Structure 1
Amino acid sequence: MSLLKFASMTCIALTLGACQSVFQPSVQKPLTFTADRSEQLKAGCSGQECPLVNIDTVHVADEPKLDALIEQRLLKMTVFSPEDKLAPSLEAYREQFLRTAESRNSSYLQAKVREQHDGLVIVELSSYLDTGGAHGIPGRGFINYSRQNQKEVTLQDMLVPGQENAFWAAGKVAHNNWLISTRFGNDPEFVKNWPFQQTPHVALLKDNVVLKYDVYSIAPYSEGHVELKIPYSRLRGILKPEWFPGRG
């Protein structure tokens, strides 16, 4: 091959590479989500006590892995016991629930985009199962989705190896700050009966890392889903550098 021909082919390859780079979607540009909301009553039923399923979710065409993950995580929130079987889709779950639901039973599922920053998409998941009792069963969860890696970021992915205890120690400080900021800080019985706990619900928000709690975990049902906020400044050496805002 002549030197001139080789140089020409190299230029073409470099040009194509540059074009691919230019036209490749940037992970820094926020994704566009479309809403998908529906509410369906049990067939043949009318009135306020009819069983219903309300689904309020989002879809994103540009990230099929995230789209599938949102549906899968919502479906997992419908499983409350080992006997419950995971439905293959939200549509199948709706049909299954309405087919067997009794009067005043209802199910609510929601997925909403809480934040997008630094190539991360933070999706907050909510569920509420009403079986006709005094209180329904609410659930919460997060998806921290890395567009760069095209996968969910788990707590193990977030932390420097060996720093899990240090992370929860920072969480305990956030819990103490929350107690001080509420009426509970001066209530020894509350502090004794509702101690700090770990939670599976962790979100890498832009301004802080949030720990979210299920009801009855660190406070009574009436307090809802408590959020504790850990400043990033407390997580140096604990959180991997790539997860700090502005450094992804």
Structure 2
Amino acid sequence: MFKHKNICMMSVLASAVALSACQPQKAEPQPEQEKPKAEAPDQSMKLIGDSEELSLSIPNCDGNSCPEITIERLNTNQQFIDSFIDDEILKQLGQILSVEPAQDRMQAAGSEAAAASDAKSELAQVETPKIKLEKQTAPYMQAFIKLDKELKDLNSAQKISLMIKPKILNAELPLATVVLNSSSYLGGAHGSSAQQYYNFDLKAKKLVKLDEIIEPKQKAALDAKAHEAFKVWVMDSKLADSVQEYEQAWKFKRSDNYYLGKDGLILQYAEYEIGPYVVGLPRLTIPYEQLKGILKPQYFPAAGTQPASEAKAAS
């Protein structure tokens, strides 16, 4: 009896083993395949960055008449634009401040000596574009501080100031645009301000002038459109009873300082260029619909895209 029970149990166990062997086996977990990394977007056709303020040394001063100076430069992914704007900053400083020739020569000699010393030193600090521009602005800083001292020696309570700051207006196609705002007060009846626009072809890596975006033999047509915009500006601003009367004192001229705005081609003027100081920095807008056949097709705003932003006047 006992032997019979053992045989039955062995039979049941054998059946269970056979049944389990027939069950489908679970597949071993496979290592997860790495997802292909998304390619970084091409940023070479965009102007990406911001302005950075130069570290300028000004003597300690207390009171409401202390001089103020702020100079900023561009620091972007387009080095050719940064270098170009650095040079323009120096040009503007030269127009605003008078640097004595002897002082200029001394600065140049000092820069050459420093460069020679740096070349000999293996541990010399790498000169960044910011540091380079700070060195180049040194003679203008000296002229600015000297002017302030001269005014103080005359018991003047005037507060002199100077500001130069670039700003990106349009970062990509058809043209990358940078505006260089500047303002200064160096004593006298009033201060001065300016807005200069620079338009760049990022593919060709070059500055694009107004004549280059106009169709061949269309300069006269553009001048005519600009003159019409001038007439509208004169009358809307109530600067005279007639355009003819106004042009006896302030003749029309076409500005080459331009950018592609939201509503059309903007022509920017300097102080005293087509009007008295009271009109500030005049700006004429020629709508895009008036520029068909004059402006090259690639410079019209593409359908469904946002054109270049309007520039804000420097405060």
Pairwise same-fold verdict (TM > 0.5): yes
In the other structure, the counterpart of 2:252 is 196
2:275 is paired with a residue of what secondary structure? coil
2:59 maps to 1:43: yes
Q: Could you say which structure has the higher strand fraction?
A: 1
Q: CA deviation at 1:39?
A: 7.1
1:204 CA displacement: 2.0
Structure 1 residue 114: deviation in Å?
A: 2.2
Alignment correspondent of 1:7: none
Q: Which residue of 1 aligns with 2:225?
A: 170
1:191: Cα distance to partner? Answer: 4.3
Alignment partner, residue 78 of structure 1: 93
- Which residue, out of 115, 132, 142, partners 2:170? 115
- Alpha-carbon distance in structure 2 between the residues aligned to 1:98 and 1:67: 21
2:133 corresponding residue in structure 1: 90
TM-score by length of 1: 0.76
CA positional deviation for 1:198: 2.0
When the two structures are aligned, how many residues end up with a matched partner? 225
Task: Provide the aligned C-alpha RMSD in A.
Answer: 3.1
Match of 1:33 in 2: 49
Larger-Rg structure: 2
Question: What per-residue deviation string (whole Å, max 9, x for no partner) do you get for residues 97-117 of structure 1?
Answer: 222322144321011122345
Give the TM-score normalised by structure 2: 0.62
CA distance in 1, matches of 2:67, 2:135: 16
* 1:47-77 deviations in Å (ceiling 9; x for gaps): 44334421134321x2111222222222222
Deviation at 1:171, TM superposition (A): 0.7
Q: Secondary structure at the match of 1:216?
A: coil
Deviations 1:22-53 (A, max 9, x none): 853363xx543223135746224444433442
Identity of aligned residues (%): 26
Partners of 2:183 and 2:92 in 1: CA distance = 9
For the 8 Å contact 1:54–1:109, the answer to whether it is kept is: yes
1:53 match: secondary structure: strand
Q: Conserved in 1, the CA contact under 8 Å of 2:171 and 2:177?
A: yes
- Unaligned segments of structure 1, at least 5 residues: 1-20
**Which of 192, 199, 209 is matched with 1:144 structurally?**
199
Q: Which amino acid aligns with 1:106?
A: S
Partner amino acid, structure 1, of 2:190 = H
Question: 2:240 and 2:165 mapped to 1: Cα distance?
Answer: 33
